[in-house]
């Protein structure tokens, strides 16, 4: 069988499993979730964008806020984001931390000359680069598992729905180095060639794991990098210092990759010392969105605003790779005739799988109000709505039948898994001459219909200080958040035979904004 045919067979087999559809539904959420963005000032205020202006965050937040500018401005906002995680798995607790430097935002605002004799007072053009999401994460987990091992999942997958024949498993393997081997074109084929799963009939299925009884001490790692960044062009006008209207276009760039390892260390096994499953995913994508916003000032102390942001339409390409390692007791394994033999392979890669698809994130609506307390500061709040069940994916990478199945089945998975979500943000600023002090908080709602006993909503607390002079300003903010997620290393037919890792995330985001007016 030729390599292209094998790749197509493997990909189509993958896409017919409910697990694959769940994976793409989860990916759609990952690339669509709301985060706290903007300059240090707006991040210190809880990420409020709806009813405030005069800040570079308005370019990608509520573009109507550009209408408050009365002079041009350039800003630069570097940031540092330490991530801290704790995991719990089979009663074992672990912690890990990692950090990175990044560019939270950079912007240029160009403001027109005032029109004192006109209703339209002035207009502003803004261009910004902003970090919309950060995917950087790292955690480890350990646990003594007396219920199962990863090889049990592979044996079940090879046996389900009548199973895969040994002839097919042989066809899904290339041994010749001249043809790029040794390489497997499916995970069961790799485990079969390494004698980690064995047939129980002449035709093959059902398959049994090499060692079905020993306890395993499991160790796993997950390390992710990448971000969703956006270039935004915005334009806004000021009508009679009352009504501010703006629009923007955003051009996003998605970069995400992870490396994941699960190692099963066998305790007193007659056959195995350990098996290790490695996988890596690399994702790139480009997208576009647009937004329309308004802010209305009722009087000098009270104003309201709102912004409607279209779905982001993103074209995504991904590459998925896997690798299997094993070490055997005395470097021998029980062969098909019951005799001990030297295993032919201790390490096998699975051929990379490439896939191309497009993602539509949900529509986002944001409304808010700001109350000014004379010249001492203000209090601002906002409500944001997103319906994650409205996300959609599609592909033209497969046959027309499989393209349709991928779209409809993943959509059904999205609708069954996710729901609408509300985010609440509140912040305040205190002013004393040149000095500014800020506090903020945000609640990000849980987008899952069924939380499985784990609440995935997020709480963010922020604070910051700033100094404003006639031509220069500097702001510093820090945001702490806490939320939980669940990772299941593998799934078996009997839910009692596997467990999930509970992950507690506590990232910190520190941003410094430096700006000059001209």
- pLDDT of amino acid 161: 84
- pLDDT of amino acid 21: 74
In a domain, 320, yes or no: yes
Residue 12 pLDDT greater than 80, yes or no:
no
Residue burial 212-234, b: 16+ Cβ < 10 Å; e: rest: eebbbbbbbbbbbbbbbbbebbb
- pLDDT of amino acid 233: 98
Q: What's the rounded Cα separation, in Å, for the pair 479 and 209?
A: 48
Q: For residues 207 and 152, is the Cβ–Cβ distance under 8 A?
A: no
Q: What's the rounded Cα separation, in Å, for the pair 91 and 103?
A: 38
Mean pLDDT of the chain: 92
Q: For residues 95 and 84, is the Cβ–Cβ distance under 8 A?
A: yes
Q: Write the DSSP assignment of 272-283 as a string of letters.
A: EEEEEEEEEEEE
pLDDT band at 23 (very low <50, low <70, confident <90, very high): confident
Residues 288-307: tens digit of each pLDDT: 999 999 999 999 999 999 99
pLDDT band at 201 (very low <50, low <70, confident <90, very high): confident
In a domain, 435, yes or no: yes
* Residue among 316, 470, 424, 513 nearest 47 (CA): 424
Q: For residues 337 and 361, is the Cβ–Cβ distance under 8 A?
A: no
- For residue 426, what are the contacts with CB-CB under 8 A and spacing of at least 6? 46, 48, 379, 380, 381, 440, 441, 442
Decide: pTM greater than 0.75.
yes
Q: Number of folded domains in the chain?
A: 1
* Residue among 200, 179, 174, 202 nearest 189 (CA): 174
Q: Write the DSSP assignment of 231-248 as a string of letters.
A: EEEEEEEEETTTEEEEEE
In a domain, 139, yes or no: yes
| pLDDT cut 90: percent of the chain above it | 86
How far the first Cα of the chain sits from its last, in Å, is: 67
Residues 332-344: tens digit of each pLDDT: 998 888 889 999 9
- pLDDT of amino acid 502: 95
Q: Which residue has the higher pLDDT, 56 or 3?
A: 56
Token duo for residue 350: 């699975």
- For residue 173, what are the contacts with CB-CB under 8 A and spacing of at least 6? 181, 182, 183, 184, 185, 189, 190, 192, 193
- pLDDT of amino acid 228: 97
How big is the CA angle at 482 (ends 475 and 130), to the nearest 5 degrees?
A: 40
In a domain, 206, yes or no: no
| pLDDT cut 70: percent of the chain above it | 96
In a domain, 286, yes or no: yes
Q: What's the rounded Cα separation, in Å, for the pair 125 and 64?
A: 11
Residue 142, H or E segment: strand 137-145
Residue 78 pLDDT greater than 80, yes or no:
yes
Residues 367-386: tens digit of each pLDDT: 999 999 988 999 999 999 99
- pLDDT of amino acid 18: 56
In a domain, 178, yes or no: no
- pLDDT of amino acid 368: 97
Bridge-based pairing of strands 435-444 and 458-468 is antiparallel
- For residue 199, what are the contacts with CB-CB under 8 A and spacing of at least 6? 166, 205, 207
- pLDDT of amino acid 19: 66
In a domain, 125, yes or no: yes
Classify residue 469 as exposed, middle or buried by CB count within 10 Å of its CB (0-12, 13-18, 19+): exposed
Residue 193, H or E segment: helix 187-193
- pLDDT of amino acid 336: 81
Residues 228-261: tens digit of each pLDDT: 999 999 999 999 999 999 999 999 999 999 999 9
Residues 121-137: tens digit of each pLDDT: 889 999 999 999 999 99
- pLDDT of amino acid 204: 87
Residue 469 pLDDT greater than 60, yes or no:
yes
* Residue among 214, 262, 216 nearest 488 (CA): 262
- pLDDT of amino acid 6: 43
- pLDDT of amino acid 2: 41
The enclosing domain of 492 has a CATH number of 2.40.160.60
Which stretch of 100-104, 115-119, 248-252 has the lowest confidence by average pLDDT? 115-119
Q: What domain range is 278 assigned to? A: 3-155+222-517
Residue 353 pLDDT greater than 80, yes or no:
yes
Residue 366 pLDDT greater than 80, yes or no:
yes
Instruction: Summarize the confidence of residues 382-409 as an average pLDDT.
Output: 94
Residue 514, H or E segment: strand 508-517
Q: What's the rounded Cα separation, in Å, for the pair 448 and 445?
A: 9
In a domain, 215, yes or no: no
Q: What's the rounded Cα separation, in Å, for the pair 342 and 332?
A: 5
- pLDDT of amino acid 117: 65
Instruction: Summarize the confidence of residues 13-36 as an average pLDDT.
Output: 77
* Residue among 202, 204, 178, 179 nearest 189 (CA): 204
Residue 70 pLDDT greater than 70, yes or no:
yes
E strands, 191-343, in order: 197-199, 207-209, 215-239, 243-267, 272-299, 302-309, 313-328, 333-334, 340-341
- pLDDT of amino acid 250: 97
Q: What's the rounded Cα separation, in Å, for the pair 440 and 43?
A: 8
């Amino acid at each position: 069988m030729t390599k292209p045919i094998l790749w197509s067979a493997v990909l189509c087999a993958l896409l017919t499993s409910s697990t694959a559809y769940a994976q793409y539904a989860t990916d759609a959420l990952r690339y669509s979730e709301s985060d706290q963005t903007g300059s240090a000032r707006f991040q210190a205020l809880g990420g409020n964008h709806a009813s405030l202006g005069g800040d570079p965050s308005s370019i990608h937040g509520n573009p109507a806020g550009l209408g408050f500018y009365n002079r041009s401005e350039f800003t630069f906002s570097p940031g540092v984001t330490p991530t801290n995680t704790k995991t719990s798995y089979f009663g074992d607790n672990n912690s890990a931390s990692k950090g990175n430097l990044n560019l939270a935002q950079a912007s240029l605002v160009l403001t027109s000359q005032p029109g004192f004799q006109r209703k339209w007072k002035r207009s502003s053009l803004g261009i910004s680069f902003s970090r919309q999401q950060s995917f950087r994460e790292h955690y480890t987990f350990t646990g003594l598992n007396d219920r199962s091992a990863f090889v049990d999942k592979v044996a079940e997958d090879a046996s389900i729905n009548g199973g895969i024949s040994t002839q097919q498993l042989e066809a899904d393997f290339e041994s010749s180095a001249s043809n790029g081997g040794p390489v497997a074109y499916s995970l069961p084929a790799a485990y079969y060639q390494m004698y980690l799963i064995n047939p129980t009939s002449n035709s093959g299925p059902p398959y049994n794991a090499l060692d079905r009884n020993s306890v395993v001490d499991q160790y796993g790692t997950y390390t992710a990098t990448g971000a969703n960044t956006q270039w935004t062009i915005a334009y806004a006008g000021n009508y009679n210092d009352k009504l501010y209207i703006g629009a923007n276009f955003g051009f996003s760039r998605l970069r995400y990759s992870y490396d994941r390892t699960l190692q099963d260390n066998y305790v007193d096994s007659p056959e195995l010392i350990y098996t290790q499953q490695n996988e890596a995913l690399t994702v790139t994508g480009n997208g576009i969105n647009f937004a329309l916003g308004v802010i209305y000032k009722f009087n000098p102390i009270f104003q309201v605003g709102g912004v409607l942001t279209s779905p982001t339409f993103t074209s995504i390409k991904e590459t998925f790779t896997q690798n299997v390692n094993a070490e055997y007791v005395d470097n021998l394994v029980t062969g098909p005739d019951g005799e001990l033999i030297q295993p032919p392979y201790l390490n096998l890669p699975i051929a990379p799988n490439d896939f191309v698809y497009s993602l539509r994130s949900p529509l986002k609506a944001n409304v808010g109000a700001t109350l000014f307390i004379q010249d001492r500061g203000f209090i601002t709040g906002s409500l944001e709505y997103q319906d994650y069940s409205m996300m959609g994916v599609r592909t033209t990478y497969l046959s027309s039948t499989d393209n349709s199945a991928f779209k409809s089945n993943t959509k059904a998975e999205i609708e069954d898994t996710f729901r609408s979500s509300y985010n609440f943000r509140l912040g305040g600023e205190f002013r004393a001459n040149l000095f500014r002090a800020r506090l903020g908080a945000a609640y990000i709602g849980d987008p899952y219909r069924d939380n499985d006993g784990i609440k995935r909503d997020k709480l963010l607390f922020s604070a910051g200080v700033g100094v404003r002079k006639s031509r220069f300003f500097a702001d510093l903010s820090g945001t702490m958040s806490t939320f939980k997620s669940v990772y299941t290393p593998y799934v078996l037919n009997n839910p009692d035979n596997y467990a999930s890792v509970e992950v507690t995330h506590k990232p910190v985001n520190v941003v410094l904004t430096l700006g000059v007016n001209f």
